[in-house]
Amino acid sequence: MIAALLESFAAAARGLPLTLAIWGAGVATGLALGFVIGAVRFFAPAALSWPLAAVVEAVRGVPFLVQCFLLYFGGPFIGIDLTPIVAGWVALSVYGAAYFSEVFRAGFMAVPPGHLEAARMLGIPRNQAVLRIMLPMMALAVLPSLANLAVILIKETAILSIITVPELTFRVQGVGSATFAFAETTLVLALVYWALVEATAVASRHAERRIARALAA
Amino acid sequence: MSAPILSVRALERRVGDVEILRRIDLDVMPGEAIGVIGPSGSGKSSLLRCIAGLDEVSGGAVMVEGRQTRPGDGAVGMVFQQFNLWPHLTARENVALALKLVRRMPAADAAAKADAALARVGLGALGGRKPAALSGGQQQRVAIARTLAMEPRVLLFDEPTAALDPELTTEVLDVIRDLAAAGTTMLVVSHEMGFIARLSTRVVFLDHGVVVQAAPPAALFGAQAEPRVRSFLQTYLDRVAWARDA
Ligand SMILES: Nc1ncnc2c1ncn2[C@@H]1O[C@H](COP(=O)(O)OP(=O)(O)OP(=O)(O)O)[C@@H](O)[C@H]1O
Ligand SMILES: [Mg+2]
C-alpha cells in the first residue's frame, strides 16, 4: 500500500510539469481571447456581438469533458487533427475564454458612463479614454474574479487525461491500471490537486496584490 | 452690444413620444452667468447635456461663437453632479490628462498647468492626492480645475453641490462665484436659490421642458415672477422656513 502511494506520488511528479504548462498556456490564451470577446461584446454592434454571445453560451453550457471529446475525436472529421497536447491547450483556452470574457464584459459595464462623458467633454479620443481610463478602472474590479477562475481551471486540466494528454491525472491513473491500487491512486490525485489549488490560490492572491499595487502607484 | 457667445435656437429633444425640451431659445452674452432652476424632471440637466452635445437633439441648434458644437471641441466645458473624477489618477493627473492627450503638452508643462488650475480652486497643495483621499467638496473643485484647464468658452454646471454634505457646498459655490466674477460665461443648474439669486445675471425657469420665464434675478425672484415660478419658489421658501423653524 505504501509502495502504491509512493509510486502514485512519483507519477504525479512526472505529470506535474505538463499540467502546469498546459494550465499556464491555457490561462494565458484564455485571458487574451476572453478579453477580446468581452471587448467585442461590449463595444461592437449587435450583429457582431450576438454570434459571440451564442458561442460563449454554448461553451458554458456544455461540460468540459464533452468539449474535449468533440474537439479531439470530432475534429478530424472537419479537418482539425490535433495532437492530444495541442487539443488540450485549445480546449482549455476556449473554455477559459468563455468564462473570462463574461468577467471582462461585466468589468466594462461597471465603469460609470459619467467617467467617460467627462473624458469626452475634454476632447479625449475614445480609444485613449478606453486605454487610460476604462481599463485601469476595471482592472482592479475584475482581478479577483479572473484569479478565481484561473484557479478553478487547474482542476479542469484533469479532464484532459481522457484525450490521452500525459498530464498528472493520466500518469497517476496509469499506475492505477497497472497495479489495481485504485484507492491509493485516487487518494493521491485528490491530495495533489487540493495542494495545487491552494498553491495557485495563494500565488494568485499574491499576484493580485502586486498588480493592484502597480495600478495604484 | 456684442454678439452672443452661446445661442440656443428652437432646441427640441424628444425621446420616443416624450417631449423633454420644447423649442428652447436662449442667447448668452460673454461674461454672463445664467442660473437654471425648475422642478425635478423639468429638463434642466437635459438642456445642459444638449448644449454640451452629450444628448442628441431632435431639432434646433446650439452655437458657440457662431459654430455648431460637438463634445470635446473645446467650446463647452461641463462639471457634473457626481464629479466623475478618475479614481486611479491623482488630482494633478486628472487635470493634466487632457492637456497631454488633447493639447499634446509635454508632461512637465501639463503638470505645471494642472497645478496652476488646482491653485485657482484653492487646492494647490493637494495635487498628489487620489480622489478617494479628498473630501467631496475638494473632489468637485478638482473637477472644476480639470474643466478650467482646457479653457472652454462656456462652462456648464449641473447641480455641482447636490452630491455634497451641506457644509461642503460653500467651498464649491465660492469657487463658482469667483469664476463668474472673473468674467467666465456659465450656465449653472442648482437648487441653491440664494446662491443662484446672487450669482446670476439672468435666471431661466424651466417647467416641462419649456422656458416659463427668463429674467434678471431681481425680477424673477421678486414681484415680476410668473405665477408658475412664484408657486415653485413658494414651495421652496416653505421648505426653508420649515427647516429654520424645526
Ligand atoms: N433618455 C431618456 N429617456 C426618456 N426620458 C428621459 C431621458 N432622459 C431624461 N428623461 C426625462 O426627461 C425629463 C427631464 O429630465 P432631466 O434630467 O433633464 O430633468 P432635471 O430638470 O434635470 O431634473 P432633476 O432636478 O431631477 O435633476 C424627465 O421627465 C426625465 O424622466
Ligand atoms: Mg438634473
Closest ligand 1 atom to Cα of B42? 21
Cell of B80: 457634473
Cα of B194 vs centre of ligand 1, distance in Å, is 24
Domains of chain A, residue spans: 2-216
Q: How confident is the model at residue B246 (pLDDT cuts 50, 70, 90)?
A: low
The pTM assigned to this predicted structure is: 0.86
A-B C-beta contacts closer than 8 Å: 64
Q: Please give the average per-residue pLDDT across A143-157, as a whole number.
A: 92
Check pocket membership of B137 for ligand 1, CB cut-off 6 A.
no
| B80 interface with A at CB cutoff 8 Å | yes
Domains of chain B, residue spans: 1-72+153-161+187-246, 76-151
Cβ contact B84–A115 (<8 Å): yes
- End-to-end alpha carbon distance in chain A: 54
Q: Please give the average per-residue pLDDT across A72-82, as a whole number.
A: 91
| Residue A207 confidence (pLDDT) | 83
Closest ligand 1 atom to Cα of B159? 27
Check pocket membership of B2 for ligand 1, CB cut-off 6 A.
no
Three-class secondary structure of residue B11 per DSSP: strand
pLDDT tens for residues B14-63?
A: 999 999 999 999 999 999 999 999 999 999 999 999 999 999 999 999 99
pLDDT tens for residues B179-211?
A: 999 999 999 999 999 999 999 999 999 999 999
Say if residue B243's pLDDT is above 80: no
pLDDT over 70 percentage in chain B:
99
pLDDT tens for residues B124-153?
A: 999 999 999 999 999 999 999 999 999 999
Q: How confident is the model at residue B238 (pLDDT cuts 50, 70, 90)?
A: confident
Q: How confident is the model at residue A203 (pLDDT cuts 50, 70, 90)?
A: confident
Q: Would you call B234 exposed, middle or buried from its count of C-beta atoms within 10 A (0-12, 13-18, 19+)?
A: exposed
Distance separating alpha carbons of residues A124 and B72, to the nearest angstrom? 7
Averaged pLDDT of chain B: 94
Say if residue B216's pLDDT is above 90: yes
Check pocket membership of B46 for ligand 1, CB cut-off 6 A.
yes
| Residue B7 confidence (pLDDT) | 97
Say if residue B1's pLDDT is above 70: no
State the amino acid at position B202 in one-letter form. R
CATH topology of domain A2-216: MetI-like fold (1.10.3720)
| Residue B28 confidence (pLDDT) | 97
Q: How confident is the model at residue B245 (pLDDT cuts 50, 70, 90)?
A: confident
CA angle B109-B113-B114, nearest 5°? 115
| Residue A210 confidence (pLDDT) | 86
Which positions in chain A touch B88 (Cβ < 8 Å)? Answer: 136-137, 140, 215-216
| Residue B210 confidence (pLDDT) | 96
Tell me which of A122, A131, A142 to substitute to probe the interface with B (most B C-beta atoms closer than 10 Å): A122
Q: Compare CB distances from B54 to A117, A125, A132 and report the shortest one's residue.
A: A117
Q: What distances in angstroms separate CA A120 from CA A7, A96, B208, one per listed residue?
A: 64, 34, 28
Q: Please give the average per-residue pLDDT across B209-227, as a whole number.
A: 92
Cα of B41 vs centre of ligand 2, distance in Å, is 7
Q: How confident is the model at residue A205 (pLDDT cuts 50, 70, 90)?
A: confident
Which positions in chain B touch A122 (Cβ < 8 Å)? Answer: 72, 77, 97-98, 102, 146-147, 150
Q: Could you tell me the CATH superfamily of domain B1-72+153-161+187-246? A: P-loop containing nucleotide triphosphate hydrolases (3.40.50.300)
CB neighbours of residue A139 within 10 Å: 16
| Residue B235 confidence (pLDDT) | 84
CB neighbours of residue B76 within 10 Å: 26
Say if residue A216's pLDDT is above 70: no
